[in-house]
Amino acid sequence: MNTSLNQRARRGNGTENGIVGKSPAILAILEQLKSIALSDNTVLLIGETGVGKERFAEYVHQKSVRRYKPLVKISVSTLPRELVESELFGHERGAFTSASAEKKGLFEIANGGSLLLDDIDDLPFEIQPKLLRALESREIHRIGGTRSIPIDVRFVASSKVNLKELVDQGRYRSDLFYRLSVVPVAIPPLRDRREDIPLLLDHYLRQFLPDKEIEITRDALRALINYSWPGNVRELVNLVLRLLVFVNDKIDVEDLPLEIQGEEPIDMLLTSCTKCFIEEKGSFEEIIGCLEAKLLRHALAIHAGNKSRAARFLGMKLTTFRDKISRHHLTDFR
């Protein structure tokens, strides 16, 4: 049995301001960000590489009163270490050998709007107190300058790692960490919201081939949902681009990369439960509960929310299945 992803998309694409997803995790984050956007607090987005943190930063900006002002974005990891301070705060003419003219920094350029500093975990240690001072005083000094420049900026930061771990290792200033963590928001990896995978496929197939319907076999869709997606949404986008080069009207399991064809559901579950086994060290009952919830969610995802088919897939009576999804609060599936 094949599924037309574009036909599914027309029934409701689950997209809001560029965020694609209807999973409980994503819906909860969007509700949280709507409230956050109304304030002017600093936001810290935490998530693995490729989860789409920039999209969520854009969402905060679009929902805020600053939406008609610029959203300036820069990734710290792309900046040479010696240029970070100049990029952020600017410099005066003659401040250093190559400073042949004055330069506005990103804080000045974003004035009145929002500034996203991506990969803030890569911020050099010597720049951290200067960023803290700017956030607390709401003013900056250009390199080589003597006057204070007031700034009116909504600051959004993103990190691919837990900054508290860097603080504990002595690699990050604790005062800056606490200033950034006023409103921390954790973005889940794709493996923790597998029910969004069909929606994401819909979205990107329509984005790259808007006038063409692509069929996908149930086996191919199941393999895509089973896969652990270490590269998250970015990896999925790259896969869609690759598939569109090699397929015409239908995507079958043979069209997928070998690593996606071969990943078994039990491997997926164990991969997605890393926190249970390693980080959180939960009790036996908590680990079993986590595994059961993920297995139920996986069955619902690959059967598009159909509880009867998902129950048969797991070899359960429908009444037992319904009891379990109610117990794990998985009732948002349709």
| Domains by residue range for the chain, with CATH | 1-14+193-264 (1.10.8.60), 24-186 (3.40.50.300), 273-334 (1.10.10)
Average pLDDT over residues 115-141: 95
Please give the pLDDT value at position 266.
Answer: 55
Handedness of CA 216, 217, 218, 222 (dihedral sign): negative
At 118, is the pLDDT very low, low, confident or very high (cuts 50, 70, 90)? Answer: very high
DSSP per residue, 2-48: EEEHHHHHHT---EETTEE--SHHHHHHHHHHHHHHHS---EEEE--
Please give the pLDDT value at position 203.
Answer: 93
Please give the pLDDT value at position 293.
Answer: 80
d(CA 14, CA 10): 10
User: For residue 1, what are the CA distances in angstroms to 68, 213, 215?
Assistant: 47, 16, 10
Please give the pLDDT value at position 324.
Answer: 81
At 263, is the pLDDT very low, low, confident or very high (cuts 50, 70, 90)? Answer: low
Q: Where are the beta strands (DSSP E) in 224-286?
A: 250-251
Please give the pLDDT value at position 6.
Answer: 45
Please give the pLDDT value at position 316.
Answer: 78
- Give residue for tokens 């974003």: 110
DSSP annotation of 216 reads: E
CB 56 within 8 A of CB 185: yes
The pLDDT tens digits for 32-64 are 999 999 989 999 999 999 999 999 999 999 999
Please give the pLDDT value at position 323.
Answer: 83
**110 Cα distance to chain centroid:** 23
Question: Which stretch of 52-61, 86-95, 299-308 has the lowest confidence by average pLDDT?
Answer: 299-308
At 217, is the pLDDT very low, low, confident or very high (cuts 50, 70, 90)? Answer: very high
pLDDT at 278 over 70: no
The pLDDT tens digits for 315-333 are 778 888 888 888 887 765 5
d(CA 173, CA 164): 9
CB 25 within 8 A of CB 202: no
Largest CA distance in the chain: 77
pLDDT at 279 over 60: no
- Give residue for tokens 């995507």: 251
Tokens coding 232:
């998250």
Please give the pLDDT value at position 307.
Answer: 84
- Side-chain half-sphere CA neighbours of 127 within 13 A: 18
pLDDT at 334 over 80: no
Please give the pLDDT value at position 314.
Answer: 76
Please state the pTM of the whole predicted model.
0.76
Question: Which stretch of 5-9, 125-129, 216-220 has the lowest confidence by average pLDDT?
Answer: 5-9
Average pLDDT over residues 305-323: 80
Please give the pLDDT value at position 11.
Answer: 44
d(CA 132, CA 236): 36
d(CA 168, CA 174): 9
pLDDT at 244 over 60: yes
Count other Cβ atoms within 10 Å, centred on residue 292: 14
Tokens coding 33:
């960000």
Please give the pLDDT value at position 282.
Answer: 63
**286 Cα distance to chain centroid:** 26
Task: Tell me which residue of 189, 93, 180, 178 sits closest to 143, measured CA to CA.
Answer: 93
d(CA 263, CA 274): 16
Please give the pLDDT value at position 268.
Answer: 54
DSSP annotation of 121 reads: G
At 1, is the pLDDT very low, low, confident or very high (cuts 50, 70, 90)? Answer: very low
